[in-house]
Amino acid sequence: MTASVIDIAGLYKTYDNGFSALADVNLAIDRGEIFALLGPNGAGKTTLINTVCGIVTPTAGTIHVNGHDALRDFRAARACIGLVPQELTVEPFAKVAATTKFSRGLFGKPRDDAHIERVLRDLSLWDKRDNSNRELSGGMKRRVMIAKALSHQPDVLFLDEPTAGVDVELRRSMWNVVRGLRDRGVTIVLTTHYLEEAELMADRIGVIRDGHIALVDDKTALMDKLGQKRLTVRLSTPLDRVPDRLADYDLALAGDGHALVYTYGRDGDAPVRALFDDLSRAGVAWSDVDTDQSSLEEIFVDLIGRTDDTESSP
């Protein structure tokens, strides 16, 4: 028994029209983690999720879910998975509680009203349990999809863009729901275009691009490794240019010459102390300092941009 709940090896998907959407994807999802899969539109995120969930048949490769071969033993593998697809599909006339119970039945699980109630309460849908889906807002429909996906108590929950079109407040409450699920031992794999979401939620991050996994890393390691730090030094007297003595530092003037911004951190230890020594040698007086770090968003844009550079170079 390995620690990973999902094991994907040598996975390829070429669609009928000849388009190669996945090429040699190898990925292991650890039990109990929140894994965020990031990538631009068309990168292959949905294709990857759908192959694991048995909606798309891979061209080659293997997938194991809880040790079950997802291709040879589809039912056993699928029973361990809850899927909230990217496209909203709810039966308009079905009632919220009934549709959730029905989903559980599809997996052959015995009736468990207490579980259904817990799921609906967790998702703030209990008050809407007797409403039909067409009477719900878009955000509520998305939560009904999550309730259905959780109805059979899966070990792994796939959320394909769970918070697209969901307002800020609701997004926060969904994050809490997802964290609560993780705390109860559910493994979560989510895709998102909100980098802030991955930054807040994920234990690990995978970046997929053109059907290839470009990178998988712990979120904090990724941000430490690729993130840059910025030190803003507020000056007592404004400068009109960066003094020549400080030319070795990555410095820029900001705030009409009232601040110096020092960017560092990508390659090991920053010579912050040396900077301050050189500032006083250059006769630059300062009054305050401030630091911040690049967000995952900046890292991601940089990463995708750099991959572009590599591809376009001869």
Within residues 4-23, the interface with ligand ATP by CB under 6 A covers 15, 17, 19, 21
Query: Nearer Cβ to ligand ATP, position 58 or 265?
Result: 58
Q: How far is the CB of 160 from ligand ATP (least distance, A)?
A: 7
- State the number of CA atoms in the 13 A half-sphere of 29 facing the CB: 30
Q: Does 151 interact with Mg ion (rule: CB under 5 A)?
A: no
Least CB distance from residue 86 to Mg ion, whole Å?
5
58 binds ligand ATP (CB under 6 A): no
Residue 43 contact partner, candidates ligand ATP, Mg ion, none, CB within 5 to 8 A by sort of partner: ligand ATP
Could you tell me if 44 and 22 are in contact, meaning their C-beta atoms sit under 8 angstroms apart?
A: yes
CB of 65 to ligand ATP, least distance (A): 19
233 binds ligand ATP (CB under 6 A): no
- Give me the 70-99 binding string for Mg ion, x by CB under 5 A, dash otherwise: ----------------x-------------
Instruction: Select 39 or 82, whichever has its Cβ closest to ligand ATP.
Output: 39
Residues 6+ apart with CB under 8 A from 132: 92, 93, 94, 95, 96
Position 82 contacts ligand ATP (CB under 6 A) = no
Q: Please say which residue, 164 or 261, places its beta carbon nearer to Mg ion.
A: 164
Q: Please, which residue, 45 or 128, has the CB nearer to Mg ion?
A: 45
Among 46, 50, 187, 192, binds Mg ion (CB under 5 A): 46
Residue 206 sits in the site that holds ligand ATP (CB under 6 A): no
| Contact footprint for Mg ion (CB under 5 A) | 45-46, 86
**Applying CB under 6 A, which residues contact ligand ATP?**
15, 17, 19, 21, 39, 41-47, 86
